[in-house]
């Protein structure tokens, strides 16, 4: 049972480049989340989804887009990467708001 899988694990981008982070879960969870973790700031919610085909903005959505075309996948896109988006990105999923969230191991993204 893989749980929540994030790809890639590491990536270095140049300013202005675009990329997509993939999150896949095999637990049939409805809810999925993208967070970023920065030193001294804790985890901040970027976007989330409460079911296939739905997305909603979190606390820090600017500069990011998301899609949930399939229930098991939640994609996070950076259209034009900026150095301020250097961070560790975590994906999480849960079957419902009363249940624990399951996290992936993160994607470490550096933007030069």
Partner 1 sequence: KQEVTQIPAALSVPEGENLVLNCSFTDSAIYNLQWFRQDPGKGLTSLLLIQSSQREQTSGRLNASLDKSSGRSTLYIAASQPGDSATYLCAVSPASGTYKYIFGTGTRLKVLA
Judged by beta carbon, residue 17 or residue 52, the one nearer partner 1 is 52
Phi, psi at residue 32, to the nearest 5°?
-135, 150
- How far apart (Å, rounded) are the C-alpha atoms in residues 46 and 48? 7
**Least separation, in Å, of the C-beta of 33 and partner 1?**
8
Judged by beta carbon, residue 17 or residue 106, the one nearer partner 1 is 106
- How far apart (Å, rounded) are the C-alpha atoms in residues 34 and 66? 9
- Respond yes or no on whether the N-terminal peptide bond of residue 8 is cis (omega within 30° of 0): yes
**Least separation, in Å, of the C-beta of 43 and partner 1?**
4
Closest C-alpha to 104, from 41, 27, 17: 27
Judged by beta carbon, residue 14 or residue 100, the one nearer partner 1 is 100
Q: Summarize as ranges the residues that interact with partner 1 (CB under 8 A).
A: 4, 31, 33, 35, 40-45, 48, 50, 56, 58-59, 90, 92, 97-106
């Amino acid at each position: 049972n893989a749980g929540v899988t994030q790809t890639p694990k590491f990536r270095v981008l140049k300013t202005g480049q675009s990329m997509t982070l993939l999150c896949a879960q095999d637990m049939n969870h409805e809810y999925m989340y993208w967070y970023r973790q920065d030193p001294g700031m804790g985890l901040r919610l970027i976007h989330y989804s409460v079911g296939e085909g739905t997305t909603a903005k979190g606390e820090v959505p600017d500069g990011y887009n998301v899609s949930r075309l399939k229930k098991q996948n939640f994609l996070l896109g950076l259209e034009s990467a900026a150095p301020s988006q250097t961070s560790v990105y975590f994906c999480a999923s849960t079957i419902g708001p009363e249940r624990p969230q399951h996290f992936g191991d993160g994607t470490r993204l550096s933007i030069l």
